[in-house]
A and B are shown apart, each in its own frame.
Chain A
Amino acid sequence: MTRFIAARLLMIIPILFGVSFFVFMLAHIAPGDVTITLTGPYATEETREKIREAYGLNDSLPVQYGRWLGHILEGDFGKSIANRRTVSDLIFPKFANTLSLAVTSAALAYVIGLFAGIFAASRPYGYFDRITIASTLMFGSIPPFWFGLLLVLAFSLSLRWLPATGMTNLIGGGGPVDVILHLILPTIAAGAAPAAIIARTVRATMLEVLSQNYIKVARAKGIRRGIILRKHALRNALPPIATICGLQLGYLMGGVLFVEVIFAWPGIGYQLWQAIQARDIPTIQGASLIIGVSFVAVNLAVDVFNAFTDPKIRISEGVRSR
């Protein structure tokens, strides 16, 4: 097992290089250039050229990429061209903000998705099944930027229970309780779609498993429904469910962008979008890399989890536990 994990960990390195390289290329191909931000609209081509030279933007792409890579290996993410803060100062706090939102949203989605999915699968095609799945889907299909606003309209403006924007109240707010209150509505808005997807996948996978022969045998033996669901079905349904749960957490790391915009939540997705708008390559690089790391980490966790829970996969992956 440890070898399997170690092998997968080693694989992360080329992936991250791949991510950073393609992002780097894309950022260079994108039309518009950062010298506009750096020198303003009245600058002559000569000045722009000078600035390009000073920032090393004239070197060939591999050279620039190599230089960036060298710094990264020393733990230096570089400096934002557009606003001169070091990229790590800029992105790590925002990454933490996104992480807290993504984790709470994912937790909400897992709880709702798993319960709704299992319940629905336990009495398939009945009214309960239909209503559960339809309602999770409905909430999940509302465009998040609209759903967020409806939530704000209801809970902030009409009921006055919860704050509408930001992470803290700027006029006399602050403190952990304030942050938690600010976290509630964005969590619901971001968690709705993953919850729906998980609920449907759980239901489908459970039905699939429940139609297997061993379940029929178990049922024929007179084992109670609840035990069959928990002990036999769920365990075998786990790999695809874990995969989907992981995918959704990964999706949330980048996908909360619109929720971040609607709730003015200072997250990494929004920061990346701003960096893209400014063609601020070091920041684009740093932010993509950190999002990439989180994606890969989540995927790795899922793989490891699946390897642990499904003995058949464990062997087929060619990993000898001992």
Chain B
Amino acid sequence: MLKFLNKTAGIGLAVVAGGALALGALNAKPAKAEGGTLVWSIPAAQSLYDPMQACGWLTKNTTHMIFDGLVELELGKPEQPWSTLRPALAESWTISDDGTVYTFNLRKGVKFHDGTPFNADVAKWNYDRFSNPDADHYSAAGAAFLSFYSRWIESSRAVDEHTFEVVLNQPNYEWLQIGQSSCGQPEMISPAAWEKYGDEDLALNPVGTGPFKFVERDIGVMAILERNEDYYGEPAKLDRMIYHQITDQATRMSALRAGEINMLTEPAWDEIENLVDEGFQLLLQPNVPSVWYAQFNMKNPVLQDVRVRRAINMAVDREYVANEIYKGTAHAEHGMLSAGTFAYDPNYKPYPYDPEGAKKLLAEAGYADGLEITLETFDYGWNEAWEKAVQRDLKKVGIDVKLTKLEWMTYLGKWLNGMGPEVGMNTMGWGWSVPYWTAHATRCDHHPPNGINGGWYCNEKVDALYQKAIATKDKKVATEYYREANRIIMEEDVAFLPVFSYHNPILLAPNVKGFVNGQENWYDFALPYIED
């Protein structure tokens, strides 16, 4: 389509643009036939490519392709209700009967992208980086990112060349899966690369063992990976994986339609139907472990009344949000035990839409004439669609919600410090593939600044249940503990307003084959390929 213009464009113009090209353009090479290039429009900036010092889903999408952990989440089986662990750098592992000693049998003959061999000493070196303050290469930042994982570690050691052992300070059967989150990732980096580039610049020169090798990164613009031909497992099919940062939703969709990218996330929900009609493939994943919720502030005088919190839960029409606003790319969520975890109960729906009941409850609490609440949220490019729906629903029962939208860093700073008494609720959307996740926002000892329980909720019964659940080997029994904790949080104490879980709609060009939308916010790019 551009051939005609290519020929006729003047040479004079070429001179003008030459300077821009030399400084700004990237040397994108033409794609070869066998595997092709997948270009994904990432909607925001990525963080560092140092897995131990990075935070966020978008970053994990790149780092878990360059680096491998001892174990990884199985993201190639989208039909399972939750993702399980699969062997990666550890071929197998055992957990001692008391739930405190983890022993890993490491894969033999694995080499990093720079040729450094992987063995138990390297594993120990990596774990020391975030859990052993006495080590020379200990990283305080890495330890902070991974504290949710390393706080359980008592010690680690290389038993022999291919056996690595971690001892926990208390029983925890979920510990390995807790490590499968995106904010701080216990994945193996090459010690030789650390030596060569130093702790700081390591992030600019990531060297791992994963199915893709790092090629280049233009910060804030794009990153390019290429297939690792010497990968120990099934090699990636793609030649190249490109992450192209396109912040604007409308622009992303134009890029897909113009054929400039072939993978799109975060489309406008109302345009999905059109895009499918135009021939793009739509992939959904109903079991993403993530909940969009508002947390109630127990320090706010009005919201200290449990009847108000309950009324708010009754007054929000979650089905409308899921089906009308997100056009079925989400499901209504009534609890803080999210889909995509083994303890999830899809039939748990304690709050059917009941505005009349909510009004009655509010009148009972002495708010028959209405009341005012502040809801703080942040700008993440979704036009505050569900927050505004909540605002409208609450208006109908007499609650005036003052919606304050803040720029992300301003918000995050406030969110981490916990809500002041003037704020009623604040929002967040996240989760883990481990049901223990909720404890971060509920535990009494996680009140800021010692944690992220910014709503100041505290119930020792709940804390005890989570503690018991994590130390229980039998998943069925653990499930009962988790569900009981969730019931107390949602029905007795009503500490949250969960609204929906998102199904991560992905749109792909017609010639992208083999892509799997796994049960996480990151994907296995070793699977897809481009068909000619």
Contact = CB atoms under 8 A, between A and B. Distances in A.
- Do A and B have CB atoms closer than 8 angstroms in the complex? yes
Interface stretch (B143-151, B301-309, B351-359): B143-151
A100 interface: yes
Contacts of B414: 31-32
Contact of A38 (B13, B141, B242): B141
A64 interface: no
A167 B25 contact: yes
A5 interface: no
A180 B16 CA distance: 9
B20 A97 contact: yes
Q: How large is the interface on B (under 10, 10 to 19, 20 to 34, 35 or more residues)?
A: 35 or more
A215 interface: no
A166 B29 CA distance: 16
Given A31-B414, A44-B450, A172-B31, A177 B204 contact: no
Interface string B2-18: 10011001000110111
A285 interface: no
Contacts of B26: 167-168, 170, 174
Given A161-B5, A169-B28, A171-B39, A43 B144 contact: yes
Interface string A264-303: 1010001100100111000000000000000000000000
Contact of B184 (A40, A44, A167): A40
Given A41-B55, A85-B204, A170-B37, A164 B18 contact: no
Interface stretch (B215-223, B360-368, B492-500): B215-223
A263 B9 contact: no
Interface in A140-170: 145, 149, 152-153, 156-157, 160-170
Interface stretch (A12-20, A86-94, A229-237, A305-313): A86-94
A277 B184 contact: no
Given A84-B204, A177-B9, A163 B2 contact: yes
A32 B410 contact: yes
Given A32-B412, A44-B450, A261-B251, A181 B23 contact: no
A176 B18 contact: yes
A51 interface: yes
B48 interface: yes
A30 interface: yes
Given A93-B23, A261-B247, A261-B248, A180 B9 contact: yes
B469 to A, nearest CB: 20
Interface stretch (B75-83, B255-263, B279-287): B255-263
Q: How large is the interface on A (under 10, 10 to 19, 20 to 34, 35 or more residues)?
A: 35 or more
Nearest to A161: B5
A37 B27 contact: no
Contacts of B24: 93-94, 96-97, 100, 167, 179, 266
B140 interface: yes
A2 interface: no
B221 A40 contact: no
Given A39-B140, A172-B31, A177-B14, 11 more contacts: A30-B410, A36-B409, A42-B145, A85-B219, A164-B251, A166-B260, A168-B25, A170-B261, A171-B31, A180-B9, A183-B20
Interface of B: 1-2, 5-6, 9, 13-14, 16-21, 23-31, 37, 39, 45, 47-48, 53, 55, 140-141, 143-145, 147-148, 183-184, 200-201, 203-204, 218-222, 242, 244-248, 250-251, 254-255, 257-262, 407-414, 416, 449-452
For the complex of A and B, list the 5 residue pairs with the smallest distance between their C-beta atoms, beginning with the closest: A43-B144, A32-B413, A32-B409, A100-B20, A96-B23
